[in-house]
Amino acid sequence: MPPFGIVVSESEKSNKRLINHETIHWEQWKREGTLPYALNYISEAIKNGYDKNKYEIEARYEESEYCKLNYTECVRSGKALTIYNPEFRN
Ligand SMILES: [Zn+2]
């Protein structure tokens, strides 16, 4: 959450892969600047949704090629390396 920092729940604070994912978003924000990043992210989300959002795909660099593009299903089913959450985006 620029410009404040990275926010994860207490239970995930030792989840290195999740922190890495969020760090990529931090780098994206620094690369593009606050307003362009916010607008570009939102436009990606409108065009491509969440799973195919290029910023999210970039942040999923540790995931398998399948999970990079099908992240919601992977997080719900336990195939994602970053995090397991059966209620993800419900
Ligand atoms: Zn993300």
Identify the residue with better confidence: 4 or 75.
75
Dihedral sign, Cα of residue 84, residue 72, residue 64, residue 5: negative
Give the per-residue pLDDT at 56.
97
Confidence (pTM): 0.92
For range 49-56, the mean pLDDT = 97
Quick: pLDDT tens for 67-86. Answer: 999 999 999 999 999 999 99
pLDDT for the residue 2: 72
Tokens of 90: 């419900």
Separation of alpha carbons 37 and 3, rounded Å: 12
Residue 22 CA to ligand 1 centre (angstroms): 6
Distance 10 CA to ligand 1 centre (A): 18
Q: Where are the domains of the chain?
A: 13-77
Q: At 32, list the tokens.
A: 């593009």
Q: How far is ligand 1, taken at its centre, from the CA of residue 86, in Å?
A: 17
Alpha helices in 1-90 (DSSP H): 16-32, 34-48, 54-59, 65-69, 71-77
Task: Say how far apart CA 43 and CA 32 lie, in whole Å.
Answer: 14
**Ligand 1 centroid to 21 CA: how many Å?**
6
